[in-house]
Amino acid sequence: MAVFSRLATTVLNRAIRAVNRAIGAPRAVITAAVIGVVAVATAAALLLAQGGRPAGAGAVGAPRRPPRTRVVSQAPAMAGTTVLATVLESSPGYARPGGRVAGTVPASWYGRPSVLPVIGTWPGWVRVRLAQRPNGSTAWLPTADVTLASTPYRIVINLATTHLALYDNGRLVFSAPAGVGTTDDPTPTGEYFVAFDEPPPQPGVGYGPFVLVTSAHSLAISDWEGSGDAVIGIHGPLGMDAEIGTTGARISHGCVRLHGQALDRLAGVPPGTPIDVIG
């Protein structure tokens, strides 16, 4: 910086002397004129370096670009843990950090806490997947509105092979044949998560000891048995063990059916755990 300053001073003095010899004007007048020209040239150079507009300014009437985000978890990554955000109270969900409010992120869904996988971060903000329709919905939340934890698990449901797999820190724990949706009522592909688990709606008929309720919604059914929705669940075989067999089958209305022993292996999977439905 000091070398640059000395060089600039030398160039300025030479310019002043040259102009003085050429036009014979007093040195003070020439000095002021040359300094003014240098200042204007410097400002113009800086303006061009900034893309033709003053620093910090944007196009008239146009919003500033959203900040670049760092991806924390993107399915179907098979390594590491997934950060989870538990919503403390119903809060505005934003389209981008500091941007417009896009809706409300509820603190609970069907009476259970909203524990949501984090898929992106920005200082003071997290981007989360949502459990509500439409499938694939996301929102940005201030970190002050959530508490953070993590899960090492990930579930992958492959419709092409009709199998469900559970991963722990990227390591395959087990794989089991599954009954998935039929061609008319398919299990929707996409990136989802375990919303919560609940007791079976009808004990003793084959649901198993619990049902994992997911954030996926059927694209073929909008109102299942008057519930107002058609949420995809993971549960027992409903008496169709033979149809599931050892290879899996397309036999359900979109839910994922497992043999009882396979369902038991999912008992420790917490809410917020990512689910990838592929194939």
Give the integer Cα–Cα distance in Å for 202 and 182: 23
CATH code at 109? 2.30.30.40
Residue 67 main-chain phi, psi, to 5 deg: -65, 150
Label residues 11-31 b or e (16+ Cβ within 10 Å = b). Answer: eeeebbeebbeeeeeeeeebb
Determine the pLDDT at residue 24.
53
CATH number for the domain spanning 218: value is 2.40.440.10
**pLDDT tens digits, 112-141:** 999 999 999 999 999 999 999 999 999 999
Range of the domain at 32: 2-49
Identify whether residues 270 and 176 lie together within a single domain: yes
The reply to whether 274 and 159 lie within a common domain is yes
Residue 60 within any structural domain of the chain: no
Residue that is last in its domain, among 122, 150, 178: 150
Q: What is the pLDDT of residues 144-193, one digit of tens each?
A: 999 999 999 999 999 999 999 999 999 999 999 999 999 999 999 999 99
Cα separations in angstroms, 163 against 156, 177, 264, 277, 278: 8, 4, 16, 10, 10
- 269 contacts 212 by C-beta, under 8 angstroms: yes
225 and 244 part of one domain: yes
Q: Which of 101, 121, 150 is the last residue of a domain?
A: 150
Q: Is residue 55 part of a domain?
A: no
Looking at the structure, tell me whether residues 161 and 205 fall in a common domain.
Answer: yes
Whether 103 and 18 share a structural domain:
no
pLDDT of residue 203: 82
In the DSSP assignment, the letter for residue 39 is: H
CA distance 264 to 51: 60
Q: pTM for the whole thing? A: 0.73
Question: Does 257 lie in the same domain as 163?
Answer: yes
CB 124 within 8 A of CB 180: no
Q: Residue 213 pairs with which residues in a beta bridge?
A: 196, 233
Q: Under a CB-based contact definition with an 8 Å cutoff, are residues 94 and 102 in contact? A: yes
CB 117, CB 274: distance < 8 Å: yes
Indicate if 101 and 141 belong to the same structural domain. Answer: yes
At 7 the pLDDT is 40
| 165 shares a domain with 136 | no
Q: How many domains does the chain have?
A: 3
Low-confidence ranges of the chain (pLDDT < 70): 1-79, 224-227
